A and B are shown apart, each in its own frame.
Chain A
């Protein structure tokens, strides 16, 4: 029996749907905390000819629905407070929610009152899917200060959304892989996102639940409803529908650029000191990129001079950096190409053209990413406890007779950085080998100590 690869791929996916308060309502609550227990209608003053954008639970209980005219909403719920929508605040909170969830899932889509996350695979920090979903739900509830977050997890978007609707507030409804059809079978057709006309015709035929429709053959439904019948057959079996692929990360315009600036005390003309400052900037910006799960298309390095206009260079990297280890070689190449006519007072590193680097959040997954994470942790321990705290040994090529000469200590972090900068050679060509040669030619610890003493960093300003 042949299997439909699209269906198989869809069933192996795991998607989380979280239903929460409308973002416009959340912004209204933030502006007017005293209205949190009151019926609230967001959309504007009732005398305006505008529709309802969002309504609180108390207002919804009176029959107020999004899309209704505000005047009708006032008639249904006279005691409600009417609040104008604030699109800028909604965009801000959406970006905030997106940024936070990108630290928990590789692919995120934030809607007005629904959020989608990709839970396919296994998270390194959470024992199982339930714990992962709970962490996401808690994060949403904490940020939005909404106690009524309802979460559903299933193999397709539609089933996940139905599961979220079926679960109550502060509840998680998880549909096990392969149990989609069984989950949908007892539900009334009104619980599924179906065309109302089609649902009415099915009801007229005596088909009142999804299981009854799923029991029919695809050919019968196609004869009755045309191409929509096949789509209906797939939906009631929980196999997803056309256009129901992965959720897509959305990055708001405001988050498409990141940058950091380091102010140096006095004018610095020493290239080694500048190199240290740029390295620090690259790690900082790279960390922010990594936490957002983004990659940058354009990297810009700007040096503010003691006298004259700032000078800078920009490069469109072929291998788009998504972390500090990838950004550092690009920034170093820019620094080496830069001609500095005067001492530098401040250095700025900016990345633009951010786009979602799905699956690049190395802290999420086991496997290859673990080595990078462990290397980062070792680097932090070395910074805190000293260079000899975490080391890697390697056998000496010519051990000689003395036991202590059979091995020598290697630096795991620098090794990893050199290896990664070797990958980034496509950007600049000779940066990585030159860097490696430079690091091999002198004692590394002495170099770092000298550089640190030379660089009087006053402050690092984040933009």
Chain B
């Protein structure tokens, strides 16, 4: 016996197709790319970085957060499995560091728009994803970092006060200015929409690292992992790594709130043995169990 509800459902299916109304148990699950870091894959509900969606590594505060190191470590992992693309809008990527992290440089395309504009970079990323690039990492610059004069690198952790505060100055280079102010780069939000569509259509992995992500980027991301630096990993006064806490701040694929702490161990440069090694991203709990000393900063 047909009820008004079943009649309405039948009418809707006739008019709009069979796929418009489905029962909840037939919905397709979100596929994921496992990062190779068990503790992280375990905490992320799909089992890794979701495919076909944009994921964001965001710094909770300006300064060191470990997001770029984690992004490059994941890029290195991906390059050993497939063709990976690294869109460097910060202009600071060192391919040698990627090699130290274990990246297969022959499978890695490094993209750097000469103009430094976000719109150009996102447009290039979209082209590559549409061509079939299955994994893409995007490093966005830190707006405030571009406003300070060039000098020694800022090793402050997020939330720490500056030792020698300096007044912000206007950047002299127009490229740096473009990087610093995405709002002055008209059309980048439109290009971001195109990139998201391409990523969804090709079911690619898209991971963006941004210090202070604009609102549009936050809306476009299906998964936002907030990175907070907890302290340096030091031995005999030498900085060997960074302890980073990742929190699922926002997620369209699972429940937010999960937290995991990682130790990002920096590879030693010029060490041939480590060029072929796996990325040194380890779970802190494992490290503590192994008796490796972890120095707290603060």
Contact = CB atoms under 8 A, between A and B. Distances in A.
B199 to A, nearest CB: 13
Given A403-B94, A407-B95, A392 B106 contact: yes
Interface in B1-57: 19
Interface in B132-157: 132-134
Q: Which of A388, A390, A395 has the most CB of B within 10 A?
A: A390
A124 B202 contact: yes
A378 interface: yes
Given A381-B128, A393-B95, A371 B105 contact: no
Interface stretch (B109-117, B183-191, B289-297): B109-117
Given A390-B111, A391-B110, A385 B124 contact: yes
29 contacts: A127-B201, A370-B131, A370-B133, A370-B134, A373-B132, A374-B83, A377-B128, A377-B130, A377-B133, A385-B113, A385-B124, A388-B112, A389-B112, A390-B111, A390-B128, A391-B109, A391-B110, A391-B112, A392-B105, A393-B98, A394-B105, A395-B105, A395-B275, A399-B270, A403-B96, A406-B95, A406-B96, A407-B99, A412-B109
Nearest to B87: A390
A186 interface: no
A263 B30 CA distance: 54
Contacts of B120: 385
B286 interface: no
A261 B202 CA distance: 36
B108 interface: yes
Interface residues of A, number: 30
Nearest to B269: A403
B254 interface: no
B110 A393 contact: yes
Contacts of A381: 111, 124, 127-128
A378 B202 contact: no
A395 B83 contact: no
B131 A376 contact: yes
A393 B105 contact: yes
A426 interface: no
A457 interface: no
Contacts of A201: none
Contacts of A412: 109
A389 B121 CA distance: 9
Contacts of A378: 109, 128
A161 B269 CA distance: 64
B111 A389 contact: yes
B29 to A, nearest CB: 14
Contacts of A373: 131-132
Contacts of B108: 392-393
A390 B114 CA distance: 10
Given A393-B105, A406-B270, A374 B131 contact: yes
Interface string A406-446: 11000010000000000000000000000000000000000
A392 B106 CA distance: 7
A385 B119 CA distance: 12
Nearest to B130: A377
Contacts of A125: 201-202
A319 B261 CA distance: 55
Q: Which 10 A-B pairs have the closest CB atoms?
A: A377-B131, A393-B95, A370-B132, A406-B96, A373-B131, A407-B95, A373-B132, A374-B131, A386-B114, A393-B105
Contacts of B270: 399, 406
A374 B114 contact: no
Contacts of B113: 385, 389
Interface of A: 124-125, 127, 130, 366, 369-371, 373-374, 376-378, 380-381, 385-386, 388-395, 399, 403, 406-407, 412
A389 B131 contact: no
B188 to A, nearest CB: 15
Nearest to B82: A370
Contacts of A369: 132
A384 to B, nearest CB: 9
Contact of A390 (B83, B94, B98, B124): B124
Q: Which of B108, B128, B132 has the most CB of A within 10 A?
A: B132
Q: Which of A127, A381, A407 has the most CB of B within 10 A?
A: A381
B114 A370 contact: no
A394 B103 CA distance: 11
Nearest to A395: B99
Contacts of B115: 385
B74 to A, nearest CB: 18
B90 to A, nearest CB: 15
Interface string B191-234: 00000000001110000000000000000000000000000000
Given A124-B202, A381-B127, A370 B109 contact: no
A381 to B, nearest CB: 5
Q: Which of B99, B127, B269, B270 has the most CB of A within 10 A?
A: B127
Nearest to B200: A127
Contacts of A393: 95, 98-99, 105, 108, 110
Contacts of A385: 113-115, 120, 124
Contacts of A407: 95-96, 99, 105
Contact of B109 (A374, A376, A403): A374
A369 B83 CA distance: 12
A463 to B, nearest CB: 29
Nearest to B103: A393
Contacts of A376: 131
B296 to A, nearest CB: 30
Contacts of A391: 109-110, 112
Contacts of A394: 105-106
Contact of A392 (B19, B109, B128, B133): B109
B124 to A, nearest CB: 5
B154 to A, nearest CB: 19
Contact of B132 (A130, A366, A386, A392): A366
Nearest to B86: A393
Given A370-B133, A377-B127, 16 more contacts: A125-B201, A125-B202, A369-B132, A370-B134, A371-B83, A377-B128, A381-B111, A388-B114, A389-B113, A390-B110, A391-B110, A392-B110, A395-B96, A406-B96, A407-B95, A407-B96
Contacts of B131: 370, 373-374, 376-377
A124 B134 CA distance: 11
Contacts of A388: 112, 114
A374 B132 contact: yes
Contacts of B98: 393
Interface in B268-288: 269-270, 275
B167 to A, nearest CB: 31
A287 B158 CA distance: 51
